[in-house]
Amino acid sequence: MKRKIIIIVILLSILTMSSVTAKNLDLKGFKAISVLWNKEKLIPDSKNGSAVMLDNRVYIPAYLLRQANLSIQLNNNILEITDNKNKYVRNLSILNTFRRGYMDSFTQLDNEVLSLMEKVILKEDINTAPLLDLLDSVERNAAGFDYSQLAIINDRPDGLSHAVRSSESYKEAINSLIEYIKTNDTADLKAFYETRKEALEAYSLVKNEYDNYSNLSLLKAFQ
């Protein structure tokens, strides 16, 4: 435990000078120091300089630490350091919550609709309560998900925003299906099939974005 605390203190001391490079500080005559991150050497370049020992302190240029997948941002007098791997692991957690909430509920909803359609064809007794409960779950999870929480990888995960459209379209489809059960009007049945198709298309966009961002986050987390 002591070893870990010491390492953290040293890193904080080093990073307070992480904006210092060979350009604005005369480091000639000081011995260059090799820096290992998880036993892998961080490679310095001649333009930005290398780590050095100065007055019993080690100074490491920020660019060098970025090779360790650290994000370093200096804003006025605040130096912000982020372990990018943690961001991508958090992405996976957020996406998993989204899958268990919205995506699983949507799949269950569609399965319930198909089961209900089978009962309509066979003229069996119909209970729409489970269907409406699942629809409520899909709507809540779609509207409650804030994909701006995700750390951006290449492009924004805009495809996830189609979750709301998919839930709205499916709500229209279910309303048309319930009307068809009451009236037996083929126009209601046609409206059901059309709006369900729109809902499934929107869901497909969401799933593709989910799969893409999950895979990218996984790769980044374990680079």
* pLDDT tens-place string over residues 119-174: 999 999 999 999 999 999 999 999 999 988 998 988 999 999 999 999 999 999 99
* Domain boundaries, position 111: 85-221
Element (H, E) at 5: helix 2-15
Q: Are residues 152 and 195 in the same domain?
A: yes
pLDDT score at 18:
40
Quick check: 207 and 192 in contact, CB under 8 A? no
Q: Are residues 108 and 63 in the same domain?
A: no
Give the CA-trace dihedral at 208, 212, 215, 221, to 10 degrees.
-140
Higher pLDDT, 47 or 9: 47
pLDDT score at 28:
58
Does a structural domain hold residue 73?
Answer: no
Does a structural domain hold residue 80?
Answer: no
Q: Are residues 139 and 101 in the same domain?
A: yes
Does a structural domain hold residue 6?
Answer: yes
The domain that contains 159 carries what CATH number? 1.20.120
pLDDT score at 26:
54
Please give the C-alpha separations between residue 54 and each of 17, 29, 47, 59, 72, in angstroms, as whole numbers. 12, 10, 19, 7, 22
Does a structural domain hold residue 202?
Answer: yes
Residue with tokens 């459209």: 165
Domain boundary, last residue among 68, 93, 111: 68
Q: How many domains does the chain have?
A: 2
What is the distance between the alpha carbons of residues 43 and 217, in angstroms, rounded to a whole number?
A: 25
Quick check: 137 and 105 in contact, CB under 8 A? yes
pLDDT score at 3:
41
Question: Parallel, antiparallel, or unpaired: how do β-strands 40-42 and 35-37 relate?
Answer: antiparallel
DSSP state of 39: T
Q: Are residues 47 and 151 in the same domain?
A: no
Does a structural domain hold residue 22?
Answer: yes
Does a structural domain hold residue 77?
Answer: no
pLDDT digits (tens, 9 = 90+) for 186-222: 999 999 999 999 999 999 999 999 999 999 999 888 7
Buried b (16+ CB within 10 A) or exposed e, 175-209: ebbbbbbeeeeeebbebbeebbebbeebbebbbeb
Please compute the mean of the pLDDT values over residues 166-185 and round it to a whole number.
96
Residue with tokens 């791997």: 85
Does a structural domain hold residue 29?
Answer: yes
pLDDT exceeds cutoff 60 at 23: no
Does a structural domain hold residue 33?
Answer: yes
Please compute the mean of the pLDDT values over residues 77-88 and round it to a whole number.
78
